Amino acid sequence: MTGVQRRAQLLDVSRRLFAEKGFDGTSVEEIAARAEVSKPVVYEHFGGKEGVYAVVVDREIQALTGALTGALEGGGHPKVLVERTALALLSYIESNEDGFRILVRDSPVAQATGTFSSLIGDVATQVEHLLADQFKKQGLDPKTAPLYAQMLVGMVALTGQWWLDARRPGKADVAAHLVNLAWNGLLGLERRPTLTKLGTHEKRPERIGDRGIAKDAARAARAGTSAAEATPAPAPDEPTS
């Protein structure tokens, strides 16, 4: 086995152990025993347990950051961006269960410090700019965008932690329900939400203000006024395919 192959083997072995037992519960002796090498080999490649742990965490952070950033940078309607970001996180969890366990052990979402919390904070900053643009279009205060960004990203991250062990329903259904709550709100929840499929003959996502306008129109009819008088804020742009 070459040096590069040995290093990769030690990283894979360490990743599984850190996922099973956490950093404190894992020893250099266990890493060496499971890799069927002597302890000095581990020290030679990484300098100790702290060194191998740092490399494992860094690789996972890069993989997850790349997935989430790619989802956000793809552009599109805000609802579709939320869907893509939720699916990106769930897909990462599905294919990198050990890696996500390590990140969550190191820094749960509810904890203010740590690698995973820092990553979620970075994602929230990106979402903040997207929300601020939409808030301006709707006549809402863009200064509240950071607050809503933390709410939205935190909801997705915590759901991801729960789904790590639950695994039911499937990731597409979980993402659809996440977007159902984030987009429609508790008052407008759909009974059987599905993810958006944009195409020539496919239904486009509702505009944020559609439900509110419909309710305003109903109230206006009862009060004998026009829907336009009852609806002060414009709806945002329609999503484009």
pLDDT digits (tens, 9 = 90+) for 72-122: 887 788 888 889 989 999 999 999 999 999 988 765 444 444 577 788 888
72, 127 contact by CB (below 8 A)? yes
107 and 214 share one domain: yes
The CATH number covering residue 6 comes to: 1.10.10.60
Average pLDDT over residues 215-238: 51
DSSP state, residue 181: I
Count how many domains the chain has: 2
pLDDT digits (tens, 9 = 90+) for 61-75: 889 988 988 888 877
pLDDT digits (tens, 9 = 90+) for 8-31: 999 999 999 999 999 989 999 999
Q: Single out the residue of 166, 168, 206, 171 nearest to residue 190, CA to CA.
A: 206
32 and 139 share one domain: no
Q: Answer yes or no: pTM beyond 0.95.
A: no
26 and 110 share one domain: no
Residue 139, Ramachandran bin (φ over 0: left; ψ between -120 and 50: alpha; else beta): left
17 and 89 share one domain: no
**Structural domain of 3:** 1-47
The reported pLDDT for the residue numbered 216 is 52
